[in-house]
Amino acid sequence: MGRLLEDLKQPGMQLEETHISRVLLGAREVWKLKKPVNFGFLDFSTSEKRHIACEAEVALNRRLAPEVYVGVIPITRDEAGRHAFAGKGRTVDWAVLMQRLPDSHRLDRRLADGHLTKSQLESLARKLADFHSRARSDAHTAAFGTVGAVAENVRANFDAVRAKLSTVLSEEQALELENRQSAFLRDNAGLFAERIHQGHVRDGHGDLRLGQIYLDETGNASILDCIEFNERYRCGDVAADIAFLSMDLAAHGRVDLSELFLAAYVEASQDFDLYRVVDFYESYRACVRGKVALLTAADDEIQPAARLRAEEEARRYFLLALATLRRNLTPPVLVAVGGLMASGKSTLATRLGLEMAAPVLSSDRTRKHLLRAHPTQRLADEIEKGSYAPEMTSRVYREIFRLARTVLSTGRSILVDASFRSRKHREALREAAHNQGAGFLFLECRADVETLKRRLRERALGPSISDGREELLDAFAQGWEAVEELNESEHLVLDTTRPLEEGLARIRGRLPQLTGLIRK
């Protein structure tokens, strides 16, 4: 490998290494070579196996970065023994050729430079939700999401590093970490089966971390380096995919952005049940990164300084894996945002959810999800008829209550965006919050009739998740039941014709228990 790299590395090229690859970085192009290694979970020990892995890498990564992956090229050796990319002589190895993207666009760099915005993370979450919705999901992929398959991956993590784990964790910490992950699997076999039944086990990416994702100046995301060498690490619950990135944000000291990203993904995918498993998967993913760092540190060819950095990185990830399973979050709060159609409740809920890094559970999205309709598909039914018949509305609210309880049970706050015209629905949601030990606040959005009608006319000009129409407003308003069942501490009326910041300031003052979550 030494002579090969000497021949291939041209002036101006940089060499970067991982435990499985050597990467040559040119000004505009990148050549990625597989190391001739066999770790059990991957086998690149022969040229033929490396060729197959290169072909798979290009095909799979074109799903999320089609413009980056140029193709697979041969590495040749001529009669003089000199190596070249696609040169003369016989083929002795293979490389993946890629277009080089600016380092400044990489998410870990953007985060370090203070250039990673909340809106960019929300856009990325929507892209990943769309990717997962189209990814392969069948009996073959489902096998990778069973509790047995996940347990095998957990055991493989610890088996690969057990002899080395004492260099970064105490014996007590190592034992606690393994026992906690095993206990979650043992106690939640039914939950894993339910996730399979719901279609959440798919052929995903497998390595969604900050250093693999690039955002250009327009916000377009290119996501590189999925796991091509082993299906069992790429296929699985979408929560396992998403947990890699949320864990990585937390590992970089940004738990707020981690929770924001999770909330945006959950809203886009309508997969609120993801919260039931995501803490476990974040711990598992932190162990994966810890394992990779320890394997890197054990490489005989690595420099001493790099070995020390790898060991410190491993220690940090394994401690994060343990801390995630010990997580004690601030007591959660359920904020319900209601009012007449076009009263501004969705605008307020979205902004407040962004500040709280909490998911927004929308009745409009929930209704269309239950009806298997696209979020912006118009359901042109009258009030209390068709898709808005009382029995369908009851079904929507039952699902809202279930999902709200699910999120609260993980210690996270949630916002619910619905009209809440009836007292029984408001009371039921308050009871659900209190049963989970959560605080409760109902925000009632109000605006004058002319403002409501103007907003509805403007909304009709383009796509919208809401089906509210001007001609339905009067009938809708007649069904509103005044808020008399809530005490003053649980009810706040907001005039949404006033500036949004004014309303947010009043909410912050009403929710002192959210100190540390709401960021001004």
DSSP codes of every residue in 374-417: -TT----PPTTSGGGSHHHHHHHHHHHHHHHHHHHHTT--EEEE
Give the whole-angstrom CA distance, residue 394 versus residue 398: 6
Q: Which residues contact 228 (CB under 8 A, 6 or more apart)?
A: 53, 56, 57, 60, 61, 234
Q: Region 221-246: what's the mean pLDDT?
A: 95
Confidence of residue 490 (pLDDT cuts 50, 70, 90): very high
> Rounded to an integer, what distance in angstroms lies between the CA atom of residue 69 and that of residue 152?
32
- What are the C-alpha distances in Å from 57 to residues 4, 98, 228, 431? 22, 11, 5, 50
Q: What pLDDT was estimated at residue 1? A: 56
For residue 330, what pLDDT is reported?
65
Question: Cβ(359)–Cβ(441) under 8 Å?
Answer: no
Its pTM stands at 0.84
Indicate if the pLDDT at residue 304 is higher than 50: yes
Determine the 3-state secondary structure of 445 from DSSP.
Answer: strand
State the Cα–Cα distance between residues 393 and 397, nearest whole angstrom: 6
Distances in whole angstroms, Cα of residue 79 to Cα of each of 48, 83, 87, 99, 418: 22, 10, 11, 30, 74
- Characterize the bridge pairing of strands 360-362 and 414-417: parallel
**pLDDT at position 520:** 32
Stretch 446-468: mean pLDDT = 92
List own/partner pairs for 24-27 with CB under 8 A and 24 or more apart.
25/100, 26/100, 27/100
Cβ atoms of 51 and 35 within 8 Å: the answer is: no
SS3 content of the chain, % helix, strand, coil (to 5): 55, 15, 30
Does the pLDDT at position 518 exceed 80?
A: no
- Could you report how far apart the first and last alpha carbons of the chain are, in Å? 54
What is the β-pairing status of strands 439-446 and 414-417? unpaired
Question: Residue 360: what pLDDT?
Answer: 94
At residue 18, the pLDDT reads 81
For residue 166, what pLDDT is reported?
87
Mean pLDDT, residues 58-72: 97
> What is the per-residue pLDDT for 368?
92
Q: Is there a contact between 25 and 12 (Cβ–Cβ < 8 Å)?
A: no
Q: What pLDDT is attached to residue 299?
A: 79
Query: What is residue 167's predicted lDDT score, i.e. its pLDDT?
Result: 86
pLDDT surpassing 90 at residue 7? no
Instruction: Give the mean model confidence (pLDDT) for residues 168-191.
Output: 93
Q: State the pLDDT at residue 516.
A: 38
Confidence of residue 237 (pLDDT cuts 50, 70, 90): very high
Please report which confidence band the pLDDT of residue 515 belongs to, taking 50, 70 and 90 as the band edges. very low
Q: How confident is the model at residue 517 (pLDDT cuts 50, 70, 90)?
A: very low
pLDDT score of 519 more than 60: no
pLDDT in tens, 378-388: 887 667 778 88
CA-CA distance, 98 to 29, in Å (whole number)?
6
pLDDT tens readout for residues 363-379: 999 999 999 898 889 88
pLDDT at residue 268, as a whole number: 95
- Region 266-283 average pLDDT: 96
